[in-house]
Structure 1
């Protein structure tokens, strides 16, 4: 569970960095998707601590 959380956070950070290089609506959509991955990774870490 912890490894999934770390992978999600890393992919989210990379996606957020790459979304700054994209133009228009595609960049906004990529930023929203990467934020979703980051928040999911944080949620997995919190669940892992409680279990």
Structure 2
């Protein structure tokens, strides 16, 4: 597994945005992130890149 995310939690201050995100990406796999406005797509990417504290 190239990327394995288990129980990712992230948010802004006391406002939780991601609560237990789980997914995996294999080497060579192409993945897209889809969702409505305000569903946490940017928050997910910021947490994965280390721009937001995640637990």
The question of a shared fold, defined as TM-score above 0.5 by the shorter chain, is answered with no
- Indicate the structure (1 or 2) with the bigger Cα radius of gyration: 1
TM-score (norm 2): 0.31
Pick the structure with more strand per residue. 2
Q: Could you say which structure has the greater relative contact order, defined with CA pairs below 8 angstroms and 6 or more residues apart?
A: 1
